[in-house]
Structure 1
Amino acid sequence: MRAQIRAIMTAFGATDSVVDIATDVMHDTDLSGIDSHGISMLPYYGAGIRDGSLAAGTEPEVVRDVGATVVIDGKRGFGHPSGQLGMEQAIAKARTFGVGMATVRETNHYGAAGYYARLAAEQGLVGMSLCSTRNAYQTPTGARNPLMGTNPIAFACPVDGEEPIVVDMATTVVPFNKVKVYELKDQPLPADWVLDSHGRSVRNSAEAMAGLGAKDGSHGLLPLGGAGVLGGGHKGYALATMVQLLSAGISGADQPGNVDGFQSVGYFFLAIDPEVAGAGITPAYAKELRDTLRGMDPVDPEVPVQVAGDPEHRERAHRAVHGIPLSDMLLDQIRATCADFGADLVLEKVT
C-alpha cells in the first residue's frame, strides 16, 4: 500500500518531501480503518491535477508569524504537507507560550483530520484540527440545497503510557467520502444520510454520489443530528458554521459553496502544552477517565463501552497483521489512475 501511494504521488509530480508526508498520512489513515480518506483519495487528487485545481509540485510556506500564531499559504498544493506544517508550527508555539495556533489557506483536501490532532498528542500535547471543505455538501437545517462542507472536527489528548484519546468527526452525519465507500462496494446506504432537494432520503449510493457531485446542488448530506431540529440537526449545522469561521474565516480561505476550478480550503490547528498552560496532570487525568468509561456496565455484555479512538486503535492492530481490504471498484480506479499518470501498479494481494 505504501509503495503504491508513493508511486502514484511521484507520478503526479509531487516533490520528495510532499510524497513522504502524503504517503505517511494516507497509509496511516487506511491502516486505522478510515477507508474513505486514504488511498481511495488518489483518483480524486488526479482529477484535481487534470482540471488545474491542485498544483502537484508546490510546497506550503509560512507567510505570517506573530506571537503564538502562524499563517501558512498552501500554494494550492496537496493538503497533507500543509496540515503537517500547520500542526508542527502550533506545537512549536505551544512549547513556548503554552498554546499555539496555526491557520492555512490556499490549499486542498488534507485527508483525515484526526491524523494531525494525534501528532500533538503523540508529543504530550492536546491537539485540535479543523478544516473547511471543497464544494457544497451539507444542507443547512431548513434549507432545500447544500452550502456548507462536511467541516470536520478532530481532537486528541495524550494518555499516560497508552494510545491517545482521538475524536475525529464530520459535522455531517457522515463524511462525503463514506458515501463514496458504499458506492465503491456497490452497496445501498444503510441510513438517512443524503437528501434530495425535496427533502427525500436517498439510499441508492450511486444516485447519492451523482447528486452530491452535481454543481446544481441537487443532493446534500444531513448535518450531524439529522433532519430538522428535534434530533439536533441544527447543532450539527451550528458546529459546521463554527468550523468554517475558525478555519476559513481566520485564515482568509474561501466562502463555502460550489465553485468552478480551485477553491481555497482553510485549516485551523490548536496545540496546548499541559505542562505550560495547565496543571500538568492531563495525561494521567485522561487515563483515569478512559479507564472509568471503559469499565462502565454495558447494555450488551458482549459489547463493552468504548471511548473515542478505540475502534481505530483496534483496527490498526488487525490490519497491521492481516492487510488492508480494497474493493474491486477501487482497484479499478487505482489501475486507471496509474495508467493516466504513468505510475507502476505495485499492489500485492495478501491471501
Structure 2
Amino acid sequence: MAQEDTKITVRHTAAEAFVVALLEASGVSRKNAEIVARGLVQADLRGVESHGVNRIPSYLARVRNGVLDPKTEPTLTQVTPVVAQVDGNNGFGFPAAHLAMETAVSMAQTFGIGMVSVKHSNHFGMSAWLVRQAVDAGMMSLVFTNSSPALPVWGGKSQLMGVSPIACGAPGGENSIPFILDMAPSVAARGKIYKALRRGEKIPPDWALDEEGKPTDDPEKALKGVMLPMGGPKGSALAIMMDVFSGVLSGSAFAGGVTGPYNMAKPGDVGHFIVAIKPDLFMSLDDFRQRMDVLYQRVVESDKMEGVERIYFPGELEQLTEERRLQDGIPFVQGEIDALNVEAERLGVPGIQQAP
C-alpha cells in the first residue's frame, strides 16, 4: 500500500470549497452544500477516507439518475416537547441528520434529553461528524442509522442487514479528549471495500465472503458477496438493532429494503435515530468532566500487553490523524483525483486544487 507521503495532498479548505462548488452546480443550496462538504471533509481529516470526498461521484450519479433530489429541504415535525421527526424528503442525508441533531440538542438544552427520528433520508457519511456536532454543543449523543443489505443474519448466507454504524459520544474534561465511538457491526465498514477497489488494493481475507461463500481478498468479489459480522451472532444482532431503531421506528425502509448509495435504481429511504443528552442531569458539569478525566487516564494508562506501545481512547487515533492532516493536507491517489475532476468537468467547475 502506498504511503501518505507518496500521495497527492489537498488542503481541507480546498476540498470543502471543491465539494461545495460541485453540489451548488448540481442544484444544492449553499447552506446544504456546506453541510455536506463539512461532513465529508471531516471524514477525510479523521482518516475515514471510505466516507470522505470520494463519495461525491456516487452521490452525483444518484442526482443525475433522478433517485436523489438535490433541491429539497428536510422538514421538521415536533411530536412532543422532547421528541421530533425529520422527513429527509429524499434529499442528501447530511442536512436531514444535521437538522435532527440540531433539534435534539436544542430540546436537550431545555429538557435534558432530545430524541429525533429521521425518515426518507439518504447516506449521511461518517456518523462521527454528528457526534462531534453534539460534543461541540456540550452534549452526549447516540447516532444510529440503517443501510443497504450487505450482511447475512447469523446462520444465513444472503445479504439482508446493513453494515449500519453505531455511534455515540460525550464531552471530555480539561485533561481528556471527547469520547467518540463510531463503528460498524461488521469486521470492516463496506466503504473500506469500495476504497480498496478504487485504489486497486487487496482486502484482508476475514472481511468478506465471495458469492460462493468463500473468504476473499478481492474487493470486487467481496462486493458481490457478503460482509462478515464482527463477533458472529453479536454483530448480526447489532445490525438488526440498527434496523429496529432507524428503520422500523421511523417509517423508513427496513429488513433489506434500503437502497445503497451506489445503487441507481430507486431512492435510498434510509432511516436515522438521534438522541442528545445533557451531561449534567445527575451531577454538576464540573463533576462530569472530572469523571471523564479519570476515565480517560485510567484507560490510556492501563498496563499494556506485549507489543503495545500506547493505548488510545476511542476517537483518539482519529483526532491525532485530524491534527496531522489539518497541517499537512488530505492524501489522495491519482485515480481518486481524476474521478473527482471528471465530475468537475461535467459540471463546469474548476478541478480540485492540490496543495503546493
User: What stretches of structure 2 of length at least 5 have no aligned partner?
Assistant: 1-14, 260-264
- The answer on whether the counterparts of 1:118 and 1:127 sit within 8 Å (CA) in structure 2 is no
**Which residue number corresponds to residue 289 of structure 2?**
283
Q: Distance in 2 between matches of 1:246 and 1:207?
A: 31
Q: Distance in 1 between matches of 2:197 and 2:327?
A: 27
* Partner SS state of residue 117, structure 2: strand
Q: Distance in 2 between matches of 1:137 and 1:329?
A: 26
**Which residue number corresponds to residue 34 of structure 1?**
48
**Which residue number corresponds to residue 269 of structure 1?**
274
- The answer on whether the counterparts of 1:60 and 1:77 sit within 8 Å (CA) in structure 2 is yes
**Which residue number corresponds to residue 341 of structure 1?**
347
| Partner residue of 2:166 out of 134, 153, 160 | 153
- 1:130-153 CA-to-partner distances (Å, cap 9, x unmatched) read 1011x2111221112111111111
**Which residue number corresponds to residue 23 of structure 2?**
9
Q: Distance in 1 between matches of 2:235 and 2:212?
A: 20
| Partner residue of 1:58 out of 49, 55, 72 | 72
- The answer on whether the counterparts of 1:98 and 1:277 sit within 8 Å (CA) in structure 2 is no
**Which residue number corresponds to residue 311 of structure 1?**
317
**Which residue number corresponds to residue 141 of structure 1?**
154
* Partner SS state of residue 72, structure 2: coil
| Partner residue of 2:111 out of 82, 90, 97 | 97
- The answer on whether the counterparts of 1:251 and 1:267 sit within 8 Å (CA) in structure 2 is yes
Shift of 1:208: 2.4
Deviation larger for 328-337 or 35-44: 328-337
Letter in 1 for 2:321: E
Q: State how many pairs are aligned.
A: 334
Q: Distance in 2 between matches of 1:129 and 1:32?
A: 18
Shift of 1:241: 0.8
Question: Is 2:345 the partner of 1:330?
Answer: no
Shift of 1:181: 1.3
Deviation larger for 264-273 or 188-197: 188-197
Q: Distance in 2 between matches of 1:254 and 1:126?
A: 27
* Partner SS state of residue 172, structure 1: coil
- 1:205-244 CA-to-partner distances (Å, cap 9, x unmatched) read 23323x1xxxxxxx1111122xxxxxxx111110111111
User: Which is bigger in relative contact order (C-alpha 8 A, separation at least 6)?
Assistant: 2
Q: Distance in 1 between matches of 2:348 and 2:322?
A: 31
1:158-177 alignment runs, 5 A limit: 158-161=171-174, 162-177=176-191
**Which residue number corresponds to residue 250 of structure 1?**
249
Q: Distance in 1 between matches of 2:218 and 2:30?
A: 40
- The answer on whether the counterparts of 1:158 and 1:282 sit within 8 Å (CA) in structure 2 is no
Shift of 1:301: 6.4
Deviation larger for 72-81 or 175-184: 175-184
Note the aligned Cα RMSD (angstroms): 1.6
Letter in 1 for 2:296: R
| Partner residue of 2:222 out of 205, 208, 211 | 208
**Which residue number corresponds to residue 262 of structure 2?**
none
Shift of 1:299: 2.3
TM value normalised by structure 2: 0.89
Cα 1:200–1:278 change in 2 (3 A) is farther
Shift of 1:125: 1.4
**Which residue number corresponds to residue 128 of structure 1?**
142
**Which residue number corresponds to residue 7 of structure 2?**
none
